[in-house]
Amino acid sequence: MTTEHDLPFVNTSDLNQYLYCPRRLYYLMFYHTQGLNFVLADGRSKHAHQSRRGQWYREMYLRSNSLHLHGKIDLLEGKTRLTPVERKHGTSFFDNDEVQLAAYCMLLEDYLGEPVRMGYIYLFGTNERYAITITDWHRDKVLQTVEAIRSMSLDKIPDFAANASKCEKCSTVQYCLPEETRMLEGEGTNDGGPPGSAKKSMSKGRTGRTKSTESTESADSTKGEEEHEQSQ
């Protein structure tokens, strides 16, 4: 069990976890309660399967002292201009996924010393990619979330997610015990809580999200590899 957690560096994936549910990240950080549910296992297997194909796949681990961030970018595209690609299990993506992608872009531009204004999100479930323009909103959200995570402490448990449906497939639910806690507090199960911060990507969102079909030559070849991969 972790007793002190003033993190010098925050992992990029933790930004996604925190924005999905701060309480979930609390249990992952302080009690190491990462379970392996079907969604996690299936997503990991697909990442591993993809990583064995083609010359386009390259991993890059980056760390930034100024951002207090570190993380591994699964895929980078381009010969002269590198563009991060974040791959997601499922058929849609959310604001927290965009923030994680923005964190990769910020790490990369800190490393390169030049702006990185765009990244891609690829969805395994639909075999589609979306170009995400990194805006000031994304950058501010990354910095705010990093500070929020670094200020987390063992003696302060975050509230439950406002949207109770998030708990259904959460790998920390057996430790968090949301339904049991609500019942003890006299709140019931509250199945229909208000939506949380995450929104489906197909809504208007924060950016000019565009389905990627021709961004660069390497982008086309990558999608071709991904389509071939899923057809097998």
pLDDT tens figures, 185-222: 775 444 443 333 333 333 334 656 766 543 333 333 33
Judged against a pLDDT cut of 60, whether residue 171 lies above it is answered with: yes
Beta bridge mates, 188: none
Where would I find the beta strands (DSSP E) of the chain? 10-11, 60-64, 69-73, 75-77, 83-88, 118-123, 128-133, 210-211
Cβ-contact 120, 77 below 8 angstroms: yes
pTM reported for the whole predicted model: 0.71
Provide the pLDDT for residue 168: 87
The beta-carbon contacts of 81-85 under 8 Å, at least 24 apart in sequence, are: 82/108, 82/112, 82/116, 83/116, 83/118, 83/119, 83/120, 83/215, 83/216, 83/219, 84/108, 84/116, 84/119, 84/120, 85/119, 85/120, 85/121, 85/122, 85/129, 85/222
For the domain made up of 10-231, the CATH class stated in words is: alpha beta
